[in-house]
Chains A and B, each alone.
Chain A
Amino acid sequence: MERRVGGVQRRVSDAAAPISEPSRRERRRTERDLQRSQGAWYPRWFWPTFAIPGIGWLLLFFVLPFYTIIAVAFGTIDLFRKPVPIWQPWYWTVKYFGDVGTTLFGDNAYLQPTVLRTFVYVGLASAICLVAGYAVAYYTARYAGKYRTLILIALISPFWISYLMRMVAWQNLLAGDGYVNVILQKLQVISDPYPWLEGKSATVILGLVYGYIPYMILPLFGFLDRIQTSLLEAGRDLGASPGRTFWRVTLPLSKPAIYAGLVIVSLPMFGDYYTNNLLSTSPRTSMIGNIIDSTVRESPRGSVLVLMLMVLLIVPMLYYLRSTINAQESR
């Protein structure tokens, strides 16, 4: 509303000073006249009509549901300890934020280890994804030669092999009588079967890496593939060793892809609860996602944690959003 007022005022001043810039509305009008004279003219409502069903859907099934989470988080509970959402912001209570706060920072901070563990797991798993993924993407982009298509198909395949199946596959392998234990026993590394699936951090991190590394490799590959070899040749011509060329040219060039890859893998890892449920089930390895998953039906605390998770992820999320929107505009 304010903007429109500004526009009107501006137009009044336009009359006084005819040299100044045309207002937005005027510019749009001349643009439209131009289009009309060229033949390609659309009524004003024409394109918005296409977007309306989608916008309606998002309002109804995304914005409103999200508001419900907020209403539950700022809400209260009834006699049966069931969460009761409060829809009007002026009645909101922050009681459950306080509750969650004490479990995170107070004397009885029993959630604190879980949060720290989540950071450690996600950090380690993302780092492994980055190092291994970079090597694989680099090889595929630069050296794969005639096997390129084949390797690419193999790299994409995890995208349509469901996450579940890939976790079940590791469950089979890591079971007490699974093939990993059989091989390790044959090699005399261990004498008794190792309980891989009984709350081992290594197993959960392995699961996370296995689950998300494809999402790291593909953007890295897409980027490394587009780096012009002339840049690398220039580096080599100027006397840099291959290692130095990589360190000073390729790696700095691929920084945006590295950030994007890290964000792409770490965002879902922070909300992950299923890897843990499938490969560990022990509270010794549980992550934030597990706490949310197990409390959200019973208490407003689950919703509070969801909001906290959102706040935690807001910076990487905005980065990812911005890069996706930029990619939309210029591809």
Chain B
Amino acid sequence: MSATTAGTSAGTTTGITVARRRGPSGWLRDPWRKPRFLQALTLGYLAWSILPVLIAILLSFNAGRSNSSLQTLGLRWWIDDPDQQALFQDPVLRRAILQTYLLSFITMLLAVPLGVSFAIGLDRWRGRLASTANFGMILTFVLPEIIIGIAMLSVVTYLFTFIRLGTLAQVMGLVTFQISYPVIIVRARLLSIGKEYEEAGMDLGASPRQSVRRVLLPLLYPAILASFAIVFADTVDDFVTVTYLSGPADSQPLSTFIYVTARASATPAVNAAATLMLVSTTLVITLGYLAFKRLTRGQEGGDVTSFSQL
């Protein structure tokens, strides 16, 4: 923030001392001219990046059959389709909505505790094995998702044949893919809080276990909370792993439904489904951000910028 204000204020105060030339060459040479081109480009980018999504949301309220041109507004594809194909009417879609939230919830409950504990362990336990484990963990973060999806599909098909494709396999794949988020977020936080608080706790007579539970863990709450929000939102949006590992139709979440039908036989119900996903993730991220802000009140790094750096 300070960098930006310094830059602009320098422009307005010292700019007066420089003799400004008129005309296009003067404009070009004026070192404090407003970056109009960049501004236009940024605004253009923002419009380009957000407008299509807004239009897609709007099209979900189309009363006609098309999801490319709006006829009249209505809730037909949400609740009120004569052929029972609306998002909240079609039994397949209702099952898909449930499956989406079920998967996200289970994944969140598994991945975050695993990841937090993993992060604490990796951060404090120095050694070759720890750095190898860290390497493997980050590899899941770096690999294109198709590779994780195929790896899980292969292992379920050829080795863990007792696991059927479906919810269980999906959760396994999702947790593997998501575990790196809490680890990275929590490790960043661990690094910024240092070891002093725990050592103080232990000087005051806490056992190692108590120092973790009563000192370290409360200090990690903001990071843990952010992880919950991010893992939940990211799982709602996931479709690669989930689609590879979905079995019969009843294990297909919304994202798979969208992926499969978007090209073949798209109605505004697809847009409605995508909008519902968007609303859920926005809600979760907003809640996570507000709670994060509350928990880090008065501490350095509680603003939007630091949340985004997560």
Chain A residues near B208: list those with CB within 8 A. Answer: 41-43, 46
Chain A residues near B130: list those with CB within 8 A. Answer: 48, 51
Provide the bound-state CA to CA distance between A226 and B258, in Å. 40
Provide the bound-state CA to CA distance between A5 and B226, in Å. 46
Chain B residues near A317: list those with CB within 8 A. Answer: 139, 142-143
* A192 CB-CB contact with B under 8 Å: no
Q: Which of B130-148 contact A (CB under 8 A)?
A: 130, 133-148
- Give the Cβ gap from B184 to chain A, nearest Cβ, in Å: 7
Contact B285 A177 (CB under 8 A): no
Chain A residues near B20: list those with CB within 8 A. Answer: none
Contact B258 A164 (CB under 8 A): yes
**5 A-B residue pairings within 8 Å (CB atoms):** A58-B179, A135-B41, A165-B278, A229-B6, A320-B142
Nearest A residue to B205 by beta-carbon distance? A39
Residues 40-83 of A, flagged 1 when their CB comes within 8 A of B and 0 if not, give 11110011111111110110011111101101100000000001
* A215 CB-CB contact with B under 8 Å: no
Residues of B near any A CB (own CB < 8 A)? 1, 3-8, 10, 29, 31, 34-35, 38-39, 41-42, 45-46, 48-50, 52-53, 55-56, 59, 66-69, 114-115, 117-118, 120-122, 124-125, 129-130, 133-148, 150-155, 158-159, 172-173, 175-176, 179, 183-184, 187-188, 191-192, 195, 198-199, 202-203, 208, 211, 233, 236-237, 239-240, 255, 258-259, 262-263, 266, 270-271, 274-275, 277-278, 281-282, 285, 303-305, 308-309
Contact A241 B56 (CB under 8 A): no
Nearest A residue to B6 by beta-carbon distance? A229
Contact B258 A325 (CB under 8 A): no
Provide the bound-state CA to CA distance between A168 and B192, in Å. 40
Given contacts A66-B151, A241-B29, 7 further A-B contacts (CB under 8 A): A65-B154, A163-B239, A164-B274, A165-B56, A165-B274, A218-B308, A324-B142
Provide the bound-state CA to CA distance between A141 and B233, in Å. 27
* A310 CB-CB contact with B under 8 Å: yes
Nearest B residue to A144 by beta-carbon distance? B4
- Give the Cβ gap from A53 to chain B, nearest Cβ, in Å: 6
Which of A91-99, A104-112, A247-255, A270-278 is near enough to bind chain B? Answer: A270-278
Chain B residues near A272: list those with CB within 8 A. Answer: 144, 146
Provide the bound-state CA to CA distance between A242 and B35, in Å. 11
Provide the bound-state CA to CA distance between A306 and B122, in Å. 29
Provide the bound-state CA to CA distance between A173 and B52, in Å. 7
Known: A51-B117, A160-B233. A62 touches B153 (CB 8 A): no
Contact A178 B68 (CB under 8 A): yes
* Other-chain residue from B3, B53, B68 in contact with A165 (beta carbon distance below 8 A): B53
The dominant DSSP class at the B interface is helix
Chain A residues near B270: list those with CB within 8 A. Answer: 168
Provide the bound-state CA to CA distance between A85 and B158, in Å. 7
- Give the Cβ gap from A305 to chain B, nearest Cβ, in Å: 10
Contact B147 A241 (CB under 8 A): no
Q: Which of A128-164 contact B (CB under 8 A)?
A: 132, 135-136, 138-145, 148-149, 151-158, 160-164
Nearest B residue to A160 by beta-carbon distance? B281
Provide the bound-state CA to CA distance between A53 and B68, in Å. 48
Contact B50 A157 (CB under 8 A): yes
* A172 CB-CB contact with B under 8 Å: yes
Provide the bound-state CA to CA distance between A72 and B152, in Å. 13
Chain A residues near B125: list those with CB within 8 A. Answer: 47-48, 50-51
- Give the Cβ gap from B198 to chain A, nearest Cβ, in Å: 7
Contact A225 B3 (CB under 8 A): yes
Q: Which of A276-326 contact B (CB under 8 A)?
A: 277-278, 281, 289, 292-293, 296-297, 302-303, 306, 309-310, 313, 317, 320-321, 324-325
Nearest A residue to B274 by beta-carbon distance? A165
Contact B41 A167 (CB under 8 A): no
Chain B residues near A267: list those with CB within 8 A. Answer: 142-144
Nearest A residue to B234 by beta-carbon distance? A160
Known: A47-B121, A325-B134. A296 touches B281 (CB 8 A): no
Contact A273 B69 (CB under 8 A): no
- Give the Cβ gap from B101 to chain A, nearest Cβ, in Å: 14
Contact A210 B239 (CB under 8 A): no
Provide the bound-state CA to CA distance between A41 and B202, in Å. 8
Provide the bound-state CA to CA distance between A182 and B137, in Å. 48
* A9 CB-CB contact with B under 8 Å: no
Nearest A residue to B209 by beta-carbon distance? A46
* Other-chain residue from B133, B255, B266 in contact with A58 (beta carbon distance below 8 A): B133
Known: A40-B199, A328-B191. A50 touches B117 (CB 8 A): yes
Provide the bound-state CA to CA distance between A154 and B48, in Å. 11
- Give the Cβ gap from A177 to chain B, nearest Cβ, in Å: 5
- Give the Cβ gap from B300 to chain A, nearest Cβ, in Å: 13
